[in-house]
Structure 1
Amino acid sequence: MSQPTVPDVVAAAARLLGRPLALVCELTGGQHARTLLADDGAVRVVVRVFPRADDAVARELAVLARLGPLGRLAPAALAHGDLDGHGVIVTEAVPGGPPSPTLDPVVIGEQLGVALAAVHRLDPSGLPDDVREPTLRAGRLAASAQEAWREADLDRVLTHGDYWSGNTVWEGDRLAGVVDWSGARSAPRGVDLAWCRQDLVLLGSPEAADRFLTSYEGALGRRVLDVHAWDVVAAARADTYVETWAPNYAGIGRPEIDARVLRARFDAWVGSLIGPRTTG
């Protein structure tokens, strides 16, 4: 059966809200859901439609209900429903857009660190549990990841699950919001920390990755001693498909971060973590 068309998704969201909606644009930068920005003449909303049999809407509703302490950093759910078996969720539109390509990655990292500390102070109880333990299928990094895992702190916090620059909204040089909470879990803090550090490296700034960690620790009021272990675990997870993220970076206005650049930056990062890449 065919996927819902953009007009069908807009019409479904209008029915769920009980008022007319007009499409503003389709938003890019992710691959899991089709995401639209729509307008009812007074306010803008974000409409996302997920693949059939995907429970992302239910998962996101469960986490959005507990994000109140984040204030405007997290969007509120407005409506949800079904479109021919596809889950649909309508949320507030956080004003702004992806971080500007001209914005210093260090500035991005500093603000993402403060925001993540606030996320990790929230209650994770009742959310799905995910430890992200590496498997033996992690390719060339499998042994390193298994060794790193022995050093990892597994205490659970509320994690975003896909905390990278493409899931943030900015107004100029100010972080305005964090979006796409369907992957939120009860998981170790290192899951988000390492994933975001890796993204900042892929943006071209290992310095930003370090400033992100420093900012996070300052806001949290404690050191994180196992971040290297989590960096290795995250790298093992990304190694086999990091090139496929090029459309995501193009979607946030960074088309120059193509598959070749992603692999080169990623391999340099891996080399700093465990040594140079080997072949054969």
Structure 2
Amino acid sequence: MIATNVDALVLAERHALPAPRLLGVDLDGRAGGVPASVETAVAGSSAWPARASADRLRAAGAAIARVHRIPRAPTDRLPVRPRPIAVDDFARERRLGRMPTTPLLARADALIQGIVATPGQAVFVHGDVWPGNMMWSGSTCRALIDWKTAGVGDPGVDLGELRKQVAFAGGQDAPRYVLEGWERASGIRATDVAYWDAVAALNTPTACDPPAHTAPRDEFLRRALARL
């Protein structure tokens, strides 16, 4: 994950994306005894308003659209990401009986397993887009941070995750502003939005942490299923 973060930051700098810049890398641990990287601090705050404005939500969508402008073939360190935070697969854990499920989650997983998303251009994805990984100065997103699960995939990997995350704090109307911002910045219509929303919702523990997120997660998922 350290190596992934390093390669992601190298790519981000090459394309002038808003992200920290690498200062040093010690992947074999020769200098410090453990693998490590050092990066610049980014001015601003990752604090998120209890009710973010439509403009803030659109700006968040536009910020991840910049990442998705970069076509990219997968590599060992930036692999294909079929879902957000791809190191976790909570849907599979439930499928294998390693985690309890609910009728809603089981129905959604069965439906998603039977769907093949429309193939699109493989692009650079952040992999873990949520308000805590976005640094803000006023209404400007200064940087995306924490690239350790970055990779290559469909833009929906990031878009679905951010839409889910803003629904937790901002209510079920908030995701549409993220989509508006992304589409305006991209100049294209997003595809398979309901599918990627469901994928993001399914890659959460059955009981969310904090527990207050479980009900909005379920509602977000129900709305995605209704659009499939």
Give the TM-score, by structure 2 length. Answer: 0.79
The equivalences for 1:52-201 within 5 A come to 56-68=1-13, 71=16, 73-81=18-26, 82=29, 83-85=32-34, 87-101=35-49, 104-125=52-73, 126=75, 127-132=78-83, 135=92, 137-138=94-95, 139-140=101-102, 141-148=105-112, 150-155=115-120, 156-201=122-167
Which amino acid in structure 1 is aligned with residue 216 of structure 2? R
Q: Give the counterpart of 2:222 among 264, 271, 274.
A: 271
Which runs of 5 or more structure 1 residues have no equivalent in the other structure?
Answer: 1-55, 247-258, 276-280
Q: How many residues align?
A: 204
Higher relative contact order (CA 8 A, sep 6+): 2
User: Distance between the aligned counterparts of 1:66 and 1:220, measured in 2?
Assistant: 19
Q: Normalized per residue, which structure has more strand? A: 1
Inter-CA distance 193–146: structure 2 relative to 1 (3 Å threshold): farther
Separation in structure 2 between the aligned mates of residue 205 and residue 174 of structure 1, nearest angstrom: 22
Distance 1:136 1:238, change over 3 A: closer
Q: Following superposition, which runs of at least 4 residues in structure 1 exceed 4 angstroms of deviation?
A: none
CA–CA separation in structure 2 for the residues paired with 1:241 and 1:69: 40
* Contact 1:70 1:118 (C-alpha < 8 Å) held by counterparts: no
Q: By how many angstroms is 1:105 displaced?
A: 4.4
Q: Which residue of 2 aligns with 1:37?
A: none
Query: For residues 88 and 202 of structure 1, do their structure 2 counterparts lie closer, same or farther at Cα, with a shift above 3 Å needed?
Result: same
Give the counterpart letter for 2:16 in structure 1: G
Matches within 5 A, 1:198-277: 198-243=164-209, 246=210, 259=211, 261-274=212-225
8 Å Cα contact 1:105/1:203 also seen in 2: no
1:121 deviation in Å?
A: 0.9
The separation in 1 between residues aligned to 2:25 and 2:162, in whole angstroms, is 29
Q: 1:120 is aligned with what amino acid?
A: H
Shift of 1:153: 2.8
Amino acid across the alignment from 2:80: D
Residue type of the alignment partner of 1:58:
A
Determine the C-alpha separation between the residues in 1 that align with 2:81 and 2:17: 27
* Aligned partners of 2:42 and 2:135 also within 8 Å: yes
Tell me, what secondary structure is at the counterpart of 2:79? coil
TM-score, normalised to structure 1's length?
Answer: 0.65
Structure 2 unmatched runs, 5+: 84-88, 96-100
Aligned-residue CA RMSD in angstroms? 2.4
Bigger Rg over Cα: 1
Shift of residue 201 of structure 1? 0.2
